[in-house]
Each structure stands twice: as structure tokens, then as C-alpha cells.
Structure 1
């Protein structure tokens, strides 16, 4: 079976994740990147959305998770996002990166991110 890659990058969603109360109160933007391993051969052959990942629906599902129940760690958030990705029909694995560009760090920095890779069950 062919394995192709479908990516969604730069999904920006306001969430209330973090270990500090002020992070939970005010929230901040998180940026999500996902790469899904799947076969796009049937979709290409039929030109039919039902044979591939609907990236609009994917974006909505991921945004709902980020905007939903707060967690302390972006590692936990990444795991929840990966679980949603690998539950999709035809997805064999997912690479998920959660960026926290406004992390409460005293030093000047460009980005903080966690990337995980998970296979479908």
C-alpha cells in the first residue's frame, strides 16, 4: 500500500493550557502542525473526498481539542491531538507538533514546541 503524507500546518487556536493559573485564566495561542500518513491513491483515482482525509473537518476537530479542556502540559495536548488523528479512517500514523510561542519563559525565544509521532492502533 502506498503511504502518502497529508499535512496541516500553522493551525492557530486559543487555548488555556499550562501549569500556571495565569495561563489558564488568560489563555494564549497555540500553533498546531500535523502530518498524516495515509494512502491518497483511491482519492486520486476517484476524485472523491470520501476516500481521503477532509482537512477542513480535521482542522475543526483539532481546534476543538485545543480550545477544549485545559491540560498542564503541551505533551498531553499533543497526545490528545495525535489520538484524534490516528482515529481517522485510513490514517496509519501521525506526527503532531504543538507550538507554544507565548510560553512563560524569562529568556527571549522564538518558539517552544513538542513533536510526537504515533501509529494508528
Structure 2
């Protein structure tokens, strides 16, 4: 199978994840990047959306997860997002990065992120 790459980067969604009560109460923006390994050959040949990953629907699914049930760690959030991606037809593997640019850190910083890679079952 060809392994092409479909990416969705910079998906910004308000969520209530974190270990501190104030993170759960006020929430903050999280930024998600995903890179899906899949074959795009059938889609290219047919020029039909049904033969590829619908990235609009993918964005909606990922946004619902980020905006949904809170978790303590962005590692857990990344795992949930990866599970949703690898459940899609034709996706062989995914790389997910969850950024937490407003993490409660006393030092000045640009970003905190966790990146995981998972293969489809």
C-alpha cells in the first residue's frame, strides 16, 4: 500500500483539560496537529471524496474530543485523538501533537506539546 500523508495543523479548540481546578473551570485553548498515513491513490484516480479522509469531518471529530470530557494530561488527550484517527477507514498510522500554549508554568515559554505516534489496530 502506498503511504501518503494527510495533515491537519493548527486546529484550535477551547477545552477544560488539566490537573488544576482553575484549568477545568476557565478552560484554555489547545492546538492540535495530526498527520495521517494512508493511501490517496484511489481518491486521486476517482476524484471522489469517499475514497479519502474527509478532513472537514476529521476536524469536527477532533474538535468534539478536545471540547468534550476533560482529562488531566495532554498525553491522555493525544491518545483519544489518535484513537479517533486510527479508527478511520484506510488510516495506517497517525502522528498527533497536542499543544498547550497557555500551560500553567511559572517561566516564560512559547509552547508545551506532546507528540505521539500510533498505528491502526
What CA RMSD, in Å, does the superposition of the two structures yield over aligned residues? 0.2
Instruction: Please name the residue that 2:95 is paired with.
Output: 95
Structure 1 alignment gaps of length 5 or more: none
Q: CA offset at residue 76 of structure 1?
A: 0.1
Q: CA offset at residue 52 of structure 1?
A: 0.2
Deviations 1:53-103 (A, max 9, x none): 000000000000000000000000000000000000000000000000000
TM superposition score normalised by structure 2:
1.00
TM superposition score normalised by structure 1:
1.00
Aligned residues: 121
Q: CA offset at residue 4 of structure 1?
A: 0.1
Structure 2 alignment gaps of length 5 or more: none
Q: CA offset at residue 27 of structure 1?
A: 0.0
SS state at 2:36 partner:
strand
Moved over 6 A (4+): none
SS state at 2:104 partner:
coil
